[in-house]
A = this chain, B = another copy of it.
Amino acid sequence: MTTVNIIGTGNVAWHLAKAIQPLSQYELKTIAGRSKKGLASFTKLAHSCVLLDQLTAADITIIAVSDDAITEVSKTLSYNSGLFVHTSGSVDITALSGFKQYGVFYPLQSFSKEDQVDFKEIPMCIEAGSDKGITMLSTLGQALSKNVTTITSEQRRQLHLAAVFVNNFSNHCFTLGQELCEKHNLSFDLLKPLLHKTAQKAIMQDPAQSQTGPAKRNDYHTIASHLELLEDEAYKNIYTTLSKAITTYYGEKL
């Protein structure tokens, strides 16, 4: 039985705790937080919930706190045995190199606390300071997910950046589409089949192959009339920047 501590009371900590708790080969020993308030909802998941300075050693300690807090939290810990990992997309593995055994256990997904999360479908990106660490994280990763990949800190940073484009930026485009609908008394439901199809095509085939629209076909007449329809400067700016990017991208590919 491998013992696991989780540090943090945010969304990643919550979903990792819920996913690790039922695993027969693992014992979720303790959840540690910086305040009692955050820990309240975790009491049924682990054997104990404690404040950070009371945490005692486990085979694996998962530091699932915000990027900025990783270093500070790791300095507060009173033990240096077992494997320590953080769960961040952007923080280098060396942030934990003060520990004898260290690594990264990065679930590539955007979590909200109320989400139903199926860890089987979430890519687990792992990295460790030693082969033993890779073996431990690979075993835990495979107990949770169908997809465990070993990547470097540099690759992880690039992947996190790519995720900003795939999730944050595309989601803001959806939001602006919805705002435009609401402003003109149109239900956003009208665009949902298109949104679904857009994602489905990007997943099933190369998104570049599915690109359509006025910018792709250099339809300056439609682009000009769209810019006229957009009253807000911020919208115009996004429209122009992305249209130029699309025109350039496909122009260069010709």
A-side residues, CB < 8 A to B, are 67-68, 90, 108-110, 112, 121-123, 125, 147, 149, 151, 154-155, 157-159, 161-178, 180-181, 183-187, 189-203, 206-208, 210-216, 219, 221-222, 225-226, 229-230, 234, 237-239, 241-242, 245-246, 248-249
Contact B108 A193 (CB under 8 A): yes
Contact B161 A230 (CB under 8 A): yes
- CB-based nearest B residue for A146: B193
In addition to A158-B180, A167-B212, 6 A-B residue pairs with Cβ atoms within 8 Å of each other are: A125-B190, A166-B173, A167-B194, A167-B198, A175-B211, A195-B203
Contact of A166 among B151, B191, B203 (CB under 8 A): B191
- CB-based nearest B residue for A204: B192
Could you list 23 examples of A-B contacts with CB < 8 Å?
A: A67-B219, A155-B185, A157-B225, A158-B184, A159-B184, A159-B186, A162-B178, A162-B186, A164-B213, A165-B174, A165-B176, A166-B174, A166-B191, A168-B216, A169-B173, A169-B242, A170-B173, A171-B198, A172-B249, A175-B208, A175-B249, A196-B199, A241-B241
CB contact under 8 A between A161 and B229, given known A155-B184, A211-B168: yes
Measured CA separation A241–B200 after assembly (Å): 26
Q: DSSP majority for the A interface? A: helix
What copy number does this chain have within its complex?
2
Contact B212 A110 (CB under 8 A): yes
Measured CA separation A171–B190 after assembly (Å): 18
Contact A248 B222 (CB under 8 A): no
Measured CA separation A164–B159 after assembly (Å): 26
CB contact under 8 A between A171 and B242, given known A121-B193, A155-B186, A159-B186: no
Contact B166 A110 (CB under 8 A): no
| Residues in chain B near residue A108, CB distance under 8 A | 190-191, 193-194
